[in-house]
Amino acid sequence: MRIGLGINYTDGFKAVATEVADLERAGVDIIFVPEAYSYDAVSALGYLAAITDRVQLASGILQQYTRTPTLTAMTAAGLDYVSDGRFILGLGASGPQVIEGFHGVPYDAPIGRTREIIEICRKVWRRERLEYQGKYYTIPLPEGRGTGLGKPLKLINHPIRERIPVLLAALGPKNVELAAELAEGWQPIFFLPEKADSVWGDALRAGTAKRDPALGAMEVYAGPALAIGDNVEGLREFVKPHLALYIGGMGAKGKNFYHNLATRYGYGAEADRIQELYLSGQKEAAAAVVPDELVRDISLIGSPSFVAERVQAFKEAGVTVLNVTPIAATAAERVKLIEQLRALV
């Protein structure tokens, strides 16, 4: 299994550059740069490409509504160039809170748009003259929707790779099926190994049945919190506010993907209560309702032997990359955790 890690650059990504270099030496295979409503991910990825040598760099994730498909392809090709072929294009729909609330763009048709964006990106990377007639994207614009002067163009540059790996963040059955059909990688959230097949198995099998063999086997990226040592179980409490935010606050009742996931894991009553408390402003109370068992099973927090057992469970469930979130106060402690995990995987 490979190890990934997402950087936190809310205070500026220059501050994490030295740490990333140390993490690379400690055995991290992939660095993920998030993009929510802080600095854009592309700036940080380009910066990190210049100060690293081996580690892969992934957008985690670029929001698909905020860039045209062609700009997404151009950006990915540019990042792949400056990193000498180490870039992974992480794509996702994000959610209405960010897309509509921060960007002012309608959040619609995430599945259909994802398919078309991937198809357009791959045409751009192959340097085909870009002509695309989709339901959501038409390139060039036809007369009547524009000036009529647009002509099919192809990328001027020759990309390092004509197929940059695409990683999809997906939760719902149709999105997961699409990932298994079209993407090189799939990133679920709050992955629970023992329940993964019952929640996503049918969708993964349906997508895999339509998959082009040339894509190879799909990588599965799980994202557990990480703490290894004696008497570290109390650190699981740090995971609960994050779970409460997503289960309770990321969407209205009936429109929250993460609430639905917790329900499918068998925690429907707890999810309802978390949402009720969170939406009423009682965030600490909502976090207190998050089940201990759920936190334990989606995380890598415990003794070395416990973490080794959970790593094996993730592996048996099909996970190929552990994109961990170390619970540590300093850069040195985070590096040590990665070294410990490297010895266990």
CA 189 to chain centre: 8
Antiparallel, parallel or unpaired: β 321-326 and 219-222: parallel
Residue 266: predicted pLDDT: 97
Residue 148: predicted pLDDT: 86
Could you give the CA distance from residue 47 to residue 57 in angstroms, rounded to a whole number?
11
- All structural domains of the chain, each given as residue ranges with its CATH number in brackets, are 2-225+304-344 (3.20.20.30), 240-298 (no CATH)
Q: At what angle do helices 331-344 and 14-26 cross, to 10 degrees?
A: 30
Residue 12: predicted pLDDT: 72
Residue 231: predicted pLDDT: 95
Walk along the chain (345 residues) and give the pLDDT tens digit of each residue: 999 999 876 667 777 888 998 999 999 999 999 998 888 999 999 999 999 999 999 999 999 999 999 999 999 999 999 999 999 999 998 888 889 999 999 999 999 999 999 999 999 999 999 999 999 999 999 988 889 899 999 999 999 999 999 999 999 999 999 999 999 999 999 999 999 999 999 999 999 999 999 999 999 999 999 999 999 999 999 999 999 999 999 888 988 989 999 999 999 999 999 999 999 999 999 999 999 999 999 999 999 999 999 999 999 999 999 999 999 999 999 999 999 999 999
Residue 97: predicted pLDDT: 80
- Which pTM does this prediction carry? 0.94
Q: What is the chain's length?
A: 345
DSSP bridge pairs for 2: 321
DSSP one-letter code for 96 = H
Could you give the CA distance from residue 41 to residue 324 in angstroms, rounded to a whole number?
18
Residue 280: predicted pLDDT: 97
Task: List the structure tokens of 344.
Answer: 């266990």
